[in-house]
Structure 1
Amino acid sequence: MDALLTGSGGTRLRWDQLPERIRHEVERRLGDRVVAAHVQHGGFSPAFAGRLRLAGGGRVFVKAGSAADEAHIGTAFRHEARIVAGLPEHAPVPRLRWWFDDGDWVVLAFDEAAGAPPALPWQRTERDRVLAAVADLAATLTPAPDVPVPDLDDEDGAALSGFRRLAAGDPATDPDRRLAAAFPWVAAELDTLAAWEARWPSVAGGDTLLHGDLRADNLLLTDDRVLFVDWPAAVRGVAWFDLVAFLPSLMMQGGGDGAQVLASHPLTAGAEPDALTAGLVAVAGYFVSQSLLPALPRLPRIREFQRAQALPALELLRTRL
């Protein structure tokens, strides 16, 4: 199966490729020597992420990234550490043991979870477990704990304004003017989509802490729990947003009918239909506009992955509009 559809579009650093000083500092903080390291594949970051086995038998999960590799990595890891440190103990998230920042490298150490990402294409039983866990996560994190995250309805962020920026002719959003060829339906309906997207800030507000980037490679299934990992994109907002933002990757990876999930999931059961449509438009606009940007040398397949999520998002929209 294509690596994109399994969420493994990047090449991660190995443990032995980390600077010696970073490996020594990790071992010093762990109080033991690393005797084996298994890279956790999945996602698109070039940073190290892996399970470490220690000489004394202990195990830990470590993430390590350098701003020299990709400028946003250090910022994202610092942000994630502050978020996860503030989550309640009963949240379905591996416990953060410690983290450090030397000004370039940022390293986070978590308890190792005895679980694995869901099998892809999605299996019905695992999909249903995850969908139920998304509802439980929203309940656990409402009201939102006091952690440093932006609000979804904050227009200053403007992260979910892709269609409006395309409609305004923002050259930074479509520098090569590929919209009409890549997404002809979007080009024909752009003004309508931008108008729907303009409603998004008025319905996005809420007091739920949201993961903000749910995909199969950010989930771990244990025998009795679904754990949510990789939290740098967390935001505060309406409780159903994580579900809506998850649907494009779920559909892309064989998870079934997104419209049926929307119609039956407890998080969307009482939502206003127009609010859901505005949320779907905002998510689709993000994936469409991001997929049109120039490729990133260290993340060579990210634009392809964003396009692969844009297509099912647009499929959902066409049935609603």
Structure 2
Amino acid sequence: MSQPTPRVDLPQVPHGATAQRLTWRFLPRALRAAVEQRLGGEVVADESKESGFTTGFASVLRTADGGSVFLKAASVVAQEQVAAAYRDEITVLRALAAHDRALPMPRPLWVLDDDAWVAIGFEVVEGRPPRRPWRAVELERALDLAEEIAAATDPVPAGLALRTISEAEPSLLHAWEMLPDRPHRDEALALASSYADLPLTAFCHSDLRDDNVLLDDGSAYAVDWNHACLSTPWQDTVDLLVSAYGDGLDVEEVLARRALTRDVDPEHVDRWLAALSGFMADAALRPAPLNSPHLRTHSRWYAEATWRWLGERRRWH
């Protein structure tokens, strides 16, 4: 199979190297001691994971006797938003752990949470993110993962007090009102605002990008569950296909045959693409955070990929 040719003529982020994170030796001594107590030994090796766009600590830690953990940690004071996101994820993980169906995710092992730091220890999955540009085989595995999540969370697990995605991110519906005028903006706004009229009742990971997917020899796993919400059952699938479109793959063919999207009204898919493109275009105009230098490049790329795909579907171009 030939290498896909990206359709979007914009700078790309350095996939797999987008984050600037603390490493093990820079964590506070008290936190390191608490983690080593949980591990039952001194940490002798750490491998920082540099994908994603937050500054939270994210490393695989190993002890001399073979113990290991994937640790996520954030300072409550210095990384307030990241720590809050980890606490949101803890709430979701606890509800999912009590669910009677296993989900495709690394198993959470323990939590450390005090006034200074929030930390979550996970089992180590010896996997890697899909390669970018997307390869068709790896895209199919990621789409299988989206369908597995949808099946395992139908009905929505008890104990999850989830908001709808339009409640969690209201700007999805209205971002086009704040953006500079362009052809078809009013139509895009009408589409985006009507997404909330759809039945938003299915569990949705809602951040299922390539950097939140791990592939090993036979399985696929989703990570970073702090954005879970209620949406359409097919949103995660379409989210994956946005980046595949931008990488040059024929996503309409995929959309027409995958289980979660083949029977969906095309107008409904367009509503979500309009909402997502406006949301990303608005995000791209915000000042770039110093500690996440690639975030705005990421936002611009997704905004353009989503807009171009929507434009092709609407025959705007």
TM-score, normalization by structure 2: 0.89
Q: 1:205 aligns with which of 154, 175, 200?
A: 200
How big is each residue's C-alpha offset from its partner over 1:181-230, in whole Å with a ceiling of 9 and x where there is no partner? xxxxxx22221111111211011512x22111011111111222100001
Unaligned runs of 5+ in 2: 1-10
How big is each residue's C-alpha offset from its partner over 1:57-114, in whole Å with a ceiling of 9 and x where there is no partner? 1111111111333331011000111111221361101111111211231100001112
Give yes or no for contact 1:144–1:209 (8 Å, CA) kept in 2. yes
Quote how far apart the aligned CAs of 1:291 are.
Answer: 0.8
Residue 108 of structure 1 pairs with residue 117 of structure 2: no
Give yes or no for contact 1:213–1:246 (8 Å, CA) kept in 2. no
> In the alignment, which residue of structure 2 is the partner of 1:120?
132
Residue 192 of structure 1 pairs with residue 187 of structure 2: yes
Separation in structure 1 between the aligned mates of residue 51 and residue 20 of structure 2, nearest angstrom: 9
Which residue type is aligned with residue 278 of structure 1?
R
Separation in structure 2 between the aligned mates of residue 204 and residue 23 of structure 1, nearest angstrom: 45
Quote how far apart the aligned CAs of 1:5 are.
Answer: 4.9
Which residue type is aligned with residue 73 of structure 2?
A
> In the alignment, which residue of structure 2 is the partner of 1:58?
67
> In the alignment, which residue of structure 2 is the partner of 1:135?
147
Quote how far apart the aligned CAs of 1:165 are.
Answer: 3.7
Separation in structure 1 between the aligned mates of residue 142 and residue 163 of structure 2, nearest angstrom: 25
Which residue type is aligned with residue 290 of structure 1?
A
The 1:15/1:148 distance shift into structure 2, 3 A limit, reads: farther
Quote how far apart the aligned CAs of 1:7 are.
Answer: 4.7
> In the alignment, which residue of structure 2 is the partner of 1:315?
308
Residue 283 of structure 1 pairs with residue 276 of structure 2: yes
Residue 35 of structure 1 pairs with residue 29 of structure 2: no
Separation in structure 2 between the aligned mates of residue 258 and residue 293 of structure 1, nearest angstrom: 29
Quote how far apart the aligned CAs of 1:21 are.
Answer: 1.1
Give yes or no for contact 2:277–2:307 (8 Å, CA) kept in 1. yes
Q: 1:45 aligns with which of 54, 66, 69?
A: 54
Q: What value does the CA root-mean-square deviation take over the aligned residues?
A: 2.0
Percent sequence identity over aligned pairs: 32
The 3-state SS of whatever aligns with 2:150 is helix
> In the alignment, which residue of structure 2 is the partner of 1:270?
263
TM-score, normalization by structure 1: 0.87
The 1:7/1:39 distance shift into structure 2, 3 A limit, reads: closer
The 1:299/1:130 distance shift into structure 2, 3 A limit, reads: same
Separation in structure 2 between the aligned mates of residue 157 and residue 312 of structure 1, nearest angstrom: 20
Quote how far apart the aligned CAs of 1:152 are.
Answer: 2.6
Separation in structure 2 between the aligned mates of residue 32 and residue 58 of structure 1, nearest angstrom: 8
> In the alignment, which residue of structure 1 is the partner of 2:81?
72
Q: 2:254 aligns with which of 251, 261, 276?
A: 261
